[in-house]
């Protein structure tokens, strides 16, 4: 009976959300991925239903939207849209990255900010969930153009953020260069030097291991999943998508653990290197992507035996996921593994998926993994290492301390292990067996829901 009440309450919330935001499919998908996990939780906690926690949880606390005008190298005036979303601050100041990509809109950022609430809760650190960004595309822009854009963006954003209010970081299209320009603009406008952004350079308050943290963390999480099944990553063939920050450091950690990464991609296509991407090739990729800002197709020209396949936008599946493998690390963007891709992965022998990207697998793909018993680490758990080390960067900055590489890396490993354990325990406790997707949703939710309940209706 209670189960029926909870299910119908959840259905009501979902239906209302779909009616209110029909033009935000990614956000509806992210919420739809979480709510089925909450049925047994709400059954055990009717106080959450009475306080209408679910309906409050799916509505952001605030959405700031602003114009960003800037001048390009030819003297043309350009206009982009800027956003910052504070989704839920019940357990700490808003924390989450900034994404600069032409596909950015309010719905995409709401999906990312909603996921961030659960992810940040799972890290065990006192950070709420937020996200922001712009539809500005830094690809092909000069350093001067990127700097002027960042300065204009911060010219408005500075009013809404602060070290105790909202602490942005990087995401797609926002790396060390962009964080530097954004921080410089904030410092100048506000006349303060504070930890208002994470992912800062080491020279101005950054933390060691922060650039590596998301990619390393996704591999630590995979290692943890494998070990709990009596397996290991050593000698395993791994598919990695993307070639940005997360993908690069996922490959670096895979090499260190004796695995063999054989693919990388960007929006123009993907490369397959059956011999494996070793340290020297990875160093070349890092220089290509981070300094020369080139395309991944150049890899196949540089390394004989590897191939490049351009992206076919009309195709129903991505052939990268058809390469025979043991493990997959999607590290590019949302919805890059659809149902057919998931089936191709399973047919190719893949038994483990650890998500470096946010929501890279769609609901059909997730069902395929579940049906075939694939060890599946959802992004909100598997890629939480980045924000966890961002929180460590905040701690170091506020204590005026600087931890060495090993100290931060050990803490990161401990946090990933803990997230795995919390998710596995929550899955078992609430009747989801070993399903880490449900488990991470439940574990992330409980802490936030309790904090919201304690703070009253605000
Ligand atoms: P980067 O900008 O460094 O790299 C993104 C990579 O993904 C690039 O290779 C890019 O190719 C590719 N990509 C982006 N959009 C698309 C698309 N629509 N189709 C195909 N390829 C695409 O970003 P990050 O590595 O930082 O982020 C990757 C993922 O990890 C994102 O989902 C992000 O939200 C998630 N994440 C990142 C964290 C971090 O600490 N950076 C933390 C947690 C999650 P191209 O250059 O051609 O666009």
Q: What is the pLDDT of residues 396-443, one digit of tens each?
A: 988 888 999 999 999 999 999 999 999 999 999 999 999 999 999 999
State the chain's mean pLDDT as an integer: 97
Among 131, 253, 289, 380, which one carries the catalytic annotation? 131
What pLDDT, on the 0 to 100 scale, is given for residue 5?
A: 73
What pLDDT, on the 0 to 100 scale, is given for residue 2?
A: 60
Is the Cβ atom of 214 under 6 angstroms away from ligand 1? yes
How many whole angstroms separate alpha carbon 218 and alpha carbon 253? 9
412 in a structural domain: no
Q: Closest ligand 1 atom, CA of 247?
A: 25
How distant is the alpha carbon of residue 394 from its chain centre? Answer: 19
What pLDDT, on the 0 to 100 scale, is given for residue 3?
A: 66
pLDDT, tens digit (0-9, with 9 covering 90-100), for 343-358 = 999 999 999 999 999 9
Is the Cβ atom of 242 under 6 angstroms away from ligand 1? yes
pLDDT, tens digit (0-9, with 9 covering 90-100), for 192-233 = 999 999 999 999 999 999 999 999 999 999 999 999 999 999
36 in a structural domain: yes
Q: Answer yes or no: do 178 and 138 share one domain.
A: yes
183 in a structural domain: yes
CB atoms within 10 A of CB 246: 32
Is the Cβ atom of 440 under 6 angstroms away from ligand 1? no
**Quick one: pLDDT band at residue 56, thresholds 50, 70, 90?**
very high
Q: Answer yes or no: do 235 and 357 share one domain.
A: yes
111 in a structural domain: yes
Is the Cβ atom of 199 under 6 angstroms away from ligand 1? no
**Quick one: pLDDT band at residue 8, thresholds 50, 70, 90?**
confident
pLDDT, tens digit (0-9, with 9 covering 90-100), for 139-150 = 999 999 999 999
Greatest CA separation found in the chain? 67
Task: Measure Cα distances from 257 to 214, 366, 421 in Å.
Answer: 16, 26, 21
Ligand 1 centroid distance, CA of 381 (Å): 17
Ligand 1 centroid distance, CA of 209 (Å): 18
Provide mean pLDDT across the span 302-308: 98
- The domain in which residue 369 lies consists of 213-377
User: Best of 266, 299, 308 to mutate for ligand 1, by most ligand atoms within 8 A of CB?
Assistant: 266
Q: Answer yes or no: do 318 and 236 share one domain.
A: yes
Q: Are 127 and 392 in contact (CB under 8 A)?
A: no
In the chain, % helix, strand, coil (3-state, to 5) comes to 50, 15, 35
What pLDDT, on the 0 to 100 scale, is given for residue 398?
A: 87
Q: Answer yes or no: do 75 and 157 share one domain.
A: yes
CA angle, 321 as apex, 318 and 324 as ends, to 5°?
A: 145
Ligand 1 centroid distance, CA of 357 (Å): 7
395 in a structural domain: no
Is the Cβ atom of 273 under 6 angstroms away from ligand 1? no
Here the tokens at position 447 are 């802490």
207 in a structural domain: no
Q: Answer yes or no: do 255 and 330 share one domain.
A: yes
What pLDDT, on the 0 to 100 scale, is given for residue 1?
A: 58
Ligand 1 centroid distance, CA of 332 (Å): 4
Here the tokens at position 145 are 């153009």
Q: Answer yes or no: do 9 and 73 share one domain.
A: no
Domain with 298 in it: what CATH number? 3.40.50.720
Is the Cβ atom of 383 under 6 angstroms away from ligand 1? yes
Annotated catalytic, 236?
no
Give percent above pLDDT 90 in the chain: 96
How many whole angstroms separate alpha carbon 446 and alpha carbon 41? 8
How many whole angstroms separate alpha carbon 259 and alpha carbon 254? 5
Is the Cβ atom of 333 under 6 angstroms away from ligand 1? yes
Provide mean pLDDT across the span 287-316: 96
435 in a structural domain: no
**Quick one: pLDDT band at residue 138, thresholds 50, 70, 90?**
very high
Nearest CA to ligand 1 atom 5: 244
Q: Answer yes or no: do 113 and 94 share one domain.
A: yes
Count of domains forming the chain: 3
Q: Answer yes or no: do 220 and 369 share one domain.
A: yes
pLDDT, tens digit (0-9, with 9 covering 90-100), for 394-404 = 999 888 889 99
pLDDT at 182 over 90: yes
pLDDT at 235 over 90: yes
Q: Answer yes or no: do 74 and 128 share one domain.
A: yes
Q: Answer yes or no: do 347 and 248 share one domain.
A: yes
């Amino acid at each position: 009976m209670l189960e029926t009440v909870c299910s119908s309450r959840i259905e009501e919330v979902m239906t209302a959300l779909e009616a209110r935001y029909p033009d935000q499919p990614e956000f509806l998908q992210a919420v739809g991925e979480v709510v089925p996990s909450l049925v047994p939780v709400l059954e055990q906690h009717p106080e959450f239903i009475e306080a209408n926690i679910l309906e409050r949880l799916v509505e952001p606390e605030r959405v700031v939207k602003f114009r960003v005008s800037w001048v390009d190298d030819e003297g043309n005036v350009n206009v982009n849209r800027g956003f910052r979303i504070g989704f839920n601050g019940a357990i700490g100041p808003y924390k989450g990255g900034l994404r600069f990509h032409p596909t950015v809109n309010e719905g995409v950022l709401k999906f990312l900010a909603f996921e961030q609430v659960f992810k940040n809760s799972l890290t065990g650190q006192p950070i709420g969930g937020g996200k922001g960004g712009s539809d500005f595309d830094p690809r092909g822009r000069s350093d001067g153009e990127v700097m002027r854009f960042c300065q204009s963006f911060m010219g408005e954003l500075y009013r809404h953020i602060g070290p105790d209010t909202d602490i942005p970081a990087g995401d797609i299209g926002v790396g060390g260069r962009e964080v530097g320009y954004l921080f410089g603009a904030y410092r100048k406008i506000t006349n303060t030097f504070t930890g208002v952004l994470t992912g800062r350079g080491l020279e101005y308050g950054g933390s060691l291991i922060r650039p590596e943290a998301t990619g390393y963390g996704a591999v630590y999480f995979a290692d943890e999943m494998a070990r709990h099944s009596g397996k290991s990553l050593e000698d395993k063939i791994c598919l990695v998508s993307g070639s940005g920050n997360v993908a690069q450091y996922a490959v670096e950690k895979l090499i260190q653990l004796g695995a063999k990464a054989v693919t990388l991609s960007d929006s123009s296509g993907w490369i397959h290197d059956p011999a494996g991407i070793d340290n020297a090739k990875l160093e070349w990729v890092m220089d290509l992507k981070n300094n020369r800002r080139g395309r991944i197709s150049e890899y196949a020209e540089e390394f004989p035996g590897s191939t490049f396949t351009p992206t076919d936008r009309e195709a129903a599946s991505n052939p990268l996921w058809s390469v025979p493998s043991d493990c997959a690390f999607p590290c590019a963007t949302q919805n890059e593994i659809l149902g057919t891709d998931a089936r191709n992965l399973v047919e190719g022998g893949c038994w483990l998926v650890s998500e470096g990207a946010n929501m890279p697998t769609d609901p059909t793909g997730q069902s395929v993994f579940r049906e075939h018993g694939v060890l599946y680490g959802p992004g909100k758990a598997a890629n939480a290492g980045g924000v966890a080390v961002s929180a460590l960067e905040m701690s170091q900055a506020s204590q005026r301390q600087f931890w060495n590489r090993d100290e931060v890396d050990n803490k990161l490993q401990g946090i990933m292990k803990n997230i795995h354990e919390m998710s596995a325990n929550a899955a078992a406790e609430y009747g989801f067996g070993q399903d880490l997707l449900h488990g991470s949703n439940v574990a992330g939710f409980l802490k936030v829901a309790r904090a919201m309940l304690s703070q009253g209706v605000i």
